[in-house]
Amino acid sequence: MKKIPLHPLTWWIWSFAIVISIARANTPVFALVSVGVVGLVVISQREDAPWAKSFNWSLKVAIWILMIRTFIGVTIGVPIPGRTLLTLPRVPLPDWMPGVRIGGAVTLERLSSALSEGVIICAIIVICGAAASLTSPHRLLRVLPIYVYEFGVAVVIATSVVPQLVTSVARIRQAQRLRGQNTKGFASYRRVAIPLLEESLARSLDLAAAMDSRGYGVSRKRSRYRPIRWSISDSAVVISGLLVMGLS
Amino acid sequence: MIRFSNVSLVYPNSTTTVLENLNLEIAEGELVLVIGPTGSGKSSLLRLINGLVPHHTGGILAGEISVDGVSTREVKPGGLAHLIGIVGQNPINGFVADTVEEELAFAMEALNLPNETMRKRVEESLDLMSLAPLRSRSIATLSGGEQQRVAIASALVMHPKVLVLDEPTSALDPIAAEEVLSILHRLVHDLSITIVIAEHKLERVIDFADRIVHITGDGQTTIGSAQEIMKNSPIAPPIVHLARALGLEDAGLSVRDMRRRTQQLRDSTPLSHPRLIPVSTTAVIEVEKLSVAYGTKAALNSITTTIFDNEIVAVMGRNGAGKSSLLRSISGVNDIQTGGVKVHSLESKDLHSKVRRQTIGYIPQEPSDLLYAQSVAKECEQADKDNQVSPGTTHSVLAQLVPGISLHMHPRDLSEGQRLGLALSVVLSANPKVLILDEPTRGLDYEAKKSLTRILLEFASTFNRAVVIATHDVELVAELASRTIFLADGDIVADGPTIEVLLSSPAFAPQVAKVMSPQPWLRVRDVIDAIESKSR
């Protein structure tokens, strides 16, 4: 599918509209459908850029959160009566904690309530990740008001150094594999972390020096080389999001 | 244009002065070359010009520096952005935008220039640096030479009066380096921009320099014309060594000049045939139909070659020709290859820990990737333990390679040459059967390159081992390699004795060969040998 050039705020507004609809509808089915739709949009519209991977990352993080949250929801808390699926051993708690229990019977109702809450929270995380992977942080930075620009140095450093670090990690691990070192296990992290830390510090200093010597922050006002304009397709995307929000 | 008066510089927590009482005046439209051993303060001198030192780094600065009448003491680097363009050693570290065009506009946006001015100047600079076809490309996808050109262009959009470049060609192949340097030459002559440039590979730049500042290492500097400095500088390109060896009165700096003066020598010697060193027949590395691709882009197309015992093989080619891919595949860490690589009839991909260390020694582009201990001593101990050799072995190797390194130093605080030496001794303490080096000469000065050459020649001849080295440095190849493999776009386009491969390509010929063509002499030593055998 063709990639539509859009205003950097468009996908963020659209995503927020979807997030609000998910919260309002409060049903896991709607949340899952939204994630599916957003996923399709991301796959067809994202560019081949480092930040485009943030959708995949948020998906992974969301699945972890869902698993941990469901586990805790099932094992700790107030029992919900219903059909018992399995019974876990109960951890005895002192008398002054009535009503709270750890372990015990896991009912279908308890599992489904923990799952459905989790799915909704995770869908919200994934949709924010999708917005991040559809928008260049550099372009987003340009349309944000001037006082946000104060964070500019930090954001530019983060967005340009972090993706480079991913390639650095691969490179360092490869070099150490060649030194015949084991690249798995906890000890290997230290061996990778030290050269990596040195490199990222050196890079950040280089970048800060480069930005400084190119006049960054000298003028309070910044002009725009390519002004970013709001177009009809932007309005169309935003309206579609708002419609979903209204209908939910 | 630039005036240093009585400038001295000391960094915090340091007892040595970087510069002492430097007086230097650079006129408009002058190209000044800064030379000196690594760590002598070349970069510091460059960064003093726009005030990055000491505003960004700290340090005590005595004396006065002014650029176009503006003192750097009062104005921060940002305030000089319209006056001075600075291009760092690794331009990729200084890029802030996604695409070429936006990168060029960055500094102008920061200074709030009107849109029409920006448009005009971006177009201008794109044309000047021949970047127009790349204008909307993502910067990360550009080659090294292109990135260097983008960095220079994004300095030029500000219409600076001074351009400062720190080793602009160190990562570039000879052809890309030539491109960048001829652009600088044009800027000086057409636009009268003042250029200050630091460079190790003098053979590339000396011809363009109006004056040279030689930092000798203890804070002292000598300043003079290229002729004056080259008369007795220990840092000199091969062409100057040739003039000295031939006893010519003053050093010829360009190939053209030297050719005129050695006309008689060339003509009076009968055309000799290069002596070829007999090659051993024991195959060490067997590469069989090796292909590597990154996504849809092929890096190597079905390459087959064999490397023998006691051979030093140089792998050359332009940036992105597949040199690193070939080296990584030989070392067995490329997971995306098809075809096979055998080292001593072992599949190199299947090697692990101890067997790997004893079979293949590999020095990556950044030697510090191999190092992670907190001091030189700990690094050596770790290597002894890993390789199960008697304690102190690695350190004695190190002492041989680069004498005088303090054991308590942090590897990060070593100079480029010393760090390479440490990485080499860690690798060599396992006494590997094959040694592989990926561009080891980046940022090395002549002295360090000389000792690297000595170490590698010794290693290959004493232990009868094969060495494979990827490099852009033709002079190093001439000194070191017995065989050269030339890669272009993933194919082997030339493979043979170094002398034949280098002489057949004008761009990759070393300086001595260019001067002495059609005589088959690559090194100063070859010329002297030929003269001696003639007089005998």
Which A residues in the span 64-103 are in contact with B, Cβ-Cβ below 8 Å? none
Query: Does B81 contact A195 at a Cβ distance shorter than 8 Å?
Result: no
Chain B residues whose beta carbon lies within 8 Å of the beta carbon of residue A219:
110-112
Q: Judge whether residue A81 has pLDDT over 90.
A: no
Work out the number of other CB atoms within 10 angstroms of the CB of residue B533.
Answer: 10
Sign of CA pseudo-dihedral B346, B351, B353, B359? positive
Smallest CA-to-CA distance from A235 within A2, A1, A6 is with: A6
Least reliable range by pLDDT among A188-192, A194-198, B179-183: A188-192
| Enclosing H/E stretch for B95 | none
User: What does the pLDDT look like over B27-62, one tens digit per residue?
Assistant: 999 999 999 888 788 888 999 999 998 888 888 899
Residues of chain A above pLDDT 90, percent? 21
Q: Is A49 on the interface with B (CB under 8 A)?
A: yes
Mean pLDDT within B234-249: 90
| CA B475 – CA B509 distance, rounded (Å) | 8
| CA B247 – CA B266 distance, rounded (Å) | 15
End-to-end CA distance of chain B: 56
User: What does the pLDDT look like over B377-424, one tens digit per residue?
Assistant: 988 988 888 888 888 888 888 888 787 788 888 887 787 788 888 999
Q: Is A43 on the interface with B (CB under 8 A)?
A: no
User: What does the pLDDT look like over B56-95, one tens digit per residue?
Assistant: 888 889 999 999 999 998 888 989 999 999 998 888 888 8
The pLDDT value given to residue B80: 92
Q: How many residues does chain B have?
A: 536
Residue B217 identity = G
Q: Is B369 on the interface with A (CB under 8 A)?
A: yes
Q: Judge whether residue A150 has pLDDT over 60.
A: no
Work out the number of other CB atoms within 10 angstroms of the CB of residue B461.
Answer: 11
Residue with tokens 């109006």: B210
Given a contact cutoff of 8 angstroms between Cβ atoms, the answer to whether B217 and B36 are in contact is yes
- Token readout for B192 is 């009268």
Smallest CA-to-CA distance from B370 within B386, B355, B359 is with: B386
Q: Judge whether residue A183 has pLDDT over 70.
A: no
Q: Is B392 on the interface with A (CB under 8 A)?
A: no
What confidence tier does B219 reach under pLDDT thresholds 50, 70, 90? confident
Q: Judge whether residue A123 has pLDDT over 90.
A: yes
The pLDDT value given to residue B185: 92
The pLDDT value given to residue B466: 93
Query: Does B426 contact A211 at a Cβ distance shorter than 8 Å?
Result: no
Which of B78, B353, B430 has the CB atom closest to A217's CB atom? B78
The pLDDT value given to residue A97: 72
Chain B residues whose beta carbon lies within 8 Å of the beta carbon of residue A215:
78-79, 81-82, 107, 110-111, 158
| CA B387 – CA B379 distance, rounded (Å) | 12
User: What does the pLDDT look like over B129-157, one tens digit per residue?
Assistant: 889 999 988 887 788 788 889 999 999 99
What confidence tier does A184 reach under pLDDT thresholds 50, 70, 90? low
Q: Is B57 exposed, middle or buried (0-12, 13-18, 19+ CB in 10 A)?
A: middle
Given a contact cutoff of 8 angstroms between Cβ atoms, the answer to whether B235 and B37 are in contact is yes
Given a contact cutoff of 8 angstroms between Cβ atoms, the answer to whether B490 and B321 are in contact is yes
Write out the E strands in B269-393.
283-294, 297-308, 312-316, 337-343, 346-347, 360-363
More confident residue, A64 or B278: A64
List CB contacts of B484: < 8 A, sequence separation 6 or more: B313, B314, B315, B316, B477, B494, B495, B496, B497, B498, B501, B502
| CA A107 – CA B78 distance, rounded (Å) | 66
Smallest CA-to-CA distance from A248 within A110, A113, A81, A120 is with: A120
Smallest CA-to-CA distance from B504 within B528, B484, B490, B475 is with: B484
Strands B70-71 and B60-67, how do they pair? antiparallel
Q: Is A53 on the interface with B (CB under 8 A)?
A: no
Alpha carbon distances (Å) from A88 to A83, A85, B130: 14, 10, 72
Q: Is A223 on the interface with B (CB under 8 A)?
A: yes
What confidence tier does A145 reach under pLDDT thresholds 50, 70, 90? low
User: What does the pLDDT look like over B96-107, one tens digit per residue?
Assistant: 887 899 899 989
Mean pLDDT estimate for chain B? 88
What structural domains does chain B harbor?
Answer: 2-235 (3.40.50.300), 237-268+511-536 (no CATH), 283-505 (3.40.50.300)
User: What does the pLDDT look like over A19-53, one tens digit per residue?
Assistant: 999 999 889 999 999 999 999 999 988 887 767 87
Mean pLDDT within B507-526: 89
User: What does the pLDDT look like over B423-453, one tens digit per residue?
Assistant: 999 998 888 999 999 988 887 889 889 989 9
Given a contact cutoff of 8 angstroms between Cβ atoms, the answer to whether B328 and A178 are in contact is no
Mean pLDDT estimate for chain A? 82
The pLDDT value given to residue B416: 79
Mean pLDDT within B276-283: 78
ipTM of model = 0.83
Helix axes A54-75, A108-134, angle to 10 degrees: 160
